[in-house]
């Protein structure tokens, strides 16, 4: 008998095909009546394969009394109620490490873009505005001060890349990282006041909600730029939009938003922002590696009782 896997949303063909080969797959996303589907099939489910699109909340977990593992596609698992899963004796796995490079690459790309006007310059050329005159001067990146919110795997990868730009680097974590060469700022507002670029790389969820508050944004100041490749929930989005509109900060480059895929209308009209549709991990290479890690976690768990990357 093949184990039964509940898939909550569409996944890469690579993952879906392998799941179908190895398991009996039940598709929550294709169920016309979710409650009925869960009442009938929930008790048979051994494992969940999830991604960011669908919440794996307490109610869903409670409908799966046999399930022992949630194998999540993504390093961030703020849409999974991991505490409830743990209380039910379930393992939750995520996909760390394999996406670190791509996410850090995009953070640097966004930082350079928002400061130097790469995509704005592209729009400028396409609109024929260059024929009428040069673009306004931009802000320099190399040698500037970088503040990192969340010096985890991704934060460190951003820092390594920023070193090649001769940037001075400090970070804010709740606690000082014992093995870091960078200066720790206990107060995030102090870090924001000090830096030219504030890159948000901390995990989402209740603990970091609104961490980049109106006061932090104020401290960043009219010459400071914000880059967010973490979660929209970490930033007070209305406060950010207001600060950008009133030029109380220089600009923002955002890959994540509070209510994706909806982006506040006010941001679309601003020229001091760069907006991308949550693409930090979205390369063929990295998404394949993330998918493989979901499969490997399930396989290891069913074979040995131990997952590879539990959270």
CB-nearer residue toward ligand 8YV: 48 or 219: 48
Q: Is 152 in the site for ligand 8YV (CB under 6 A)?
A: no
Sheet strands side by side (includes 24-27): 24-27, 4-7, 47-51, 69-73, 91-93
260 has catalytic annotation: yes
Tokens 């490490």 — which residue?
97
Which range of residues in 68-76, 81-89, 138-146, 164-172 is near ligand 8YV by CB under 6 A?
68-76
34 has catalytic annotation: no
72 has catalytic annotation: no
Q: Is 79 in the site for ligand 8YV (CB under 6 A)?
A: no
Buried b (16+ CB within 10 A) or exposed e, 53-81: ebebeeebbebbeebbbbbbbbbbbbbbb
Q: Is 51 in the site for ligand 8YV (CB under 6 A)?
A: yes
Q: Which of the residues 270 through 309 are near ligand 8YV (CB under 6 A)?
A: 278, 281
Q: Which of 16, 24, 218, 260 is catalytic?
A: 260
What is the total residue count of the chain? 311
Q: Is 74 in the site for ligand 8YV (CB under 6 A)?
A: yes
Q: What is the DSSP letter of 50?
A: E
Q: Which of 170, 231, 237, 287 is catalytic?
A: 231
CB-nearer residue toward ligand 8YV: 74 or 117: 74
> For residues 4 and 309, what is the distance between their CA atoms, to the nearest angstrom?
21
Query: How would DSSP label each residue in 170-187?
Result: EEE-SS--TT-SSEE-S-
Taken in order 289, 295, 297, 299, the sign of the CA dihedral is: negative
Which residue is closest to ligand 8YV by CB? Answer: 74
CB-nearer residue toward ligand 8YV: 172 or 231: 231
Question: CB 177 → ligand 8YV: shortest distance, Å?
Answer: 21
Binding site residues, ligand 8YV, CB under 6 A: 51-52, 73-76, 99, 278, 281
């Amino acid at each position: 008998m093949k184990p039964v896997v509940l898939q909550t949303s569409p996944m890469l063909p690579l993952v879906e095909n392998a799941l179908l080969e190895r398991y009996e797959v039940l598709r929550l996303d294709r169920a016309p009546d979710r409650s009925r589907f869960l009442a009938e099939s929930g008790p048979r489910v051994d494992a969940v394969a999830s991604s960011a699109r669908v919440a794996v909340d307490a109610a869903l977990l409670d409908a799966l009394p046999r399930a022992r593992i949630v194998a999540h596609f993504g390093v961030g698992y703020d849409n999974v109620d991991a505490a409830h899963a743990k209380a039910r004796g379930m393992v939750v796995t995520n996909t760390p490490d394999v996406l670190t490079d791509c996410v850090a690459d995009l953070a640097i790309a966004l930082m350079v873009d928002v400061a130097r006007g790469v995509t704005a310059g592209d729009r400028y050329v396409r609109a024929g505005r260059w024929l009428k005159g040069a673009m306004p001067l931009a802000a320099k990146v190399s040698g500037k001060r970088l503040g990192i919110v969340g010096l985890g795997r991704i934060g460190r990868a951003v820092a390594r890349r920023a070193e090649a730009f001769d940037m001075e680097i400090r970070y804010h974590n709740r606690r000082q990282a014992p093995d870091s060469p960078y200066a720790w700022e206990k107060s995030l507002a102090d870090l924001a006041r000090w830096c030219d670029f504030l890159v948000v790389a901390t995990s989402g969820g209740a603990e970091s909600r609104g961490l980049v508050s109106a006061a932090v944004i104020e401290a960043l100041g009219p010459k400071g730029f914000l880059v967010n490749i973490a979660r929209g929930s970490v930033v007070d989005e209305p406060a950010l939009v207001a600060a950008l509109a009133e030029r109380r900060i220089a600009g923002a480059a955002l890959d994540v938003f509070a209510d994706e895929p909806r982006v506040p209308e006010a941001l679309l009209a601003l020229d001091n922002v760069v907006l991308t549709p949550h693409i930090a991990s979205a390369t063929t290479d990295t998404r394949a590696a993330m998918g493989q890690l979901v499969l490997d976690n399930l396989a290891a768990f069913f074979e040995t009782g131990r997952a590879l990357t539990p959270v």
